[in-house]
Amino acid sequence: MLTCDCELPKTVREFLHLVHFFFGKRVFDVKHLSKHCSGLYGGLERVASTVQVERAVGSRHQSGSDSLLTWQVFYQIASRVNPQLIDRPEHMGALFDLELQ
């Protein structure tokens, strides 16, 4: 549906263009943000524990449960851990391990 019946992007640049096209520039990746916060590292469970967020429903690696936990961790980073981080342009649209060189 999101690809409009077109081929999937062949390059990272094309993929990021589609991300920005469909979702705008204010897209944030918790893994990317956490590497810029002192003391936040590791997987989603570890980062959630560090920012004192407990999984509300489900278990690890279930898409709905992981999505909710990711949102809750993002909210903690954006509101309490490092609020100015999300206002910096270099973090908008940056996806962990997909940064363009």
| Residue the block writes with tokens 């206002």 | 87
Give residue 101's pLDDT: 47
Q: Which residues of 23-62 are buried (b: 16+ CB within 10 A; e: fewer)?
A: eeeeebbbbbbbeeeeebeeebeebbebbebebeeeeeee
What is the reported pTM? 0.80
pLDDT, tens digit (0-9, with 9 covering 90-100), for 4-34: 788 889 998 898 888 889 898 889 999 999 9
Q: How confident is the model at residue 92 (pLDDT cuts 50, 70, 90)?
A: confident
pLDDT, tens digit (0-9, with 9 covering 90-100), for 36-86: 999 999 999 999 999 999 998 888 888 889 999 999 999 999 998 888 888
